[in-house]
Amino acid sequence: MPPNTIYSGSNAIYSCMATAPDGSGQVVWTRQGYNTSAGKGFGYEHVYNKHNVWLGTVVNDIEIN
């Protein structure tokens, strides 16, 4: 995990949960990114809660594409 990428409170949605290199060698950050009370957002919590996709699947897809 990159240093200083874990946040708390209302900024927790910006916390980095994982990193993975893509096919071109660029490092892609997966952020928590979801506001459960509002039911909307971005990042891992969105793909898990809305689409039932696990973090390992997200990281694997980044690495092979």
- Is the whole-model pTM more than 0.75? no
Task: Pinpoint the alpha helices (H) of the chain.
Answer: 43-51, 55-64
Q: What is the per-residue pLDDT for 54?
A: 93
pLDDT digits (tens, 9 = 90+) for 1-57: 788 999 998 888 889 999 999 999 999 999 998 776 777 778 888 888 889 999 999
| CB 14, CB 33: distance < 8 Å | yes
Contacts of 63 (CB under 8 A, 6+ apart): 20, 21, 22, 23
Q: What is the per-residue pLDDT for 56?
A: 92
Q: What is the per-residue pLDDT for 3?
A: 86
Number of other CB atoms surrounding residue 58 within 10 Å: 19
Q: What is the per-residue pLDDT for 15?
A: 92
**Tokens read off for 12:** 């927790």
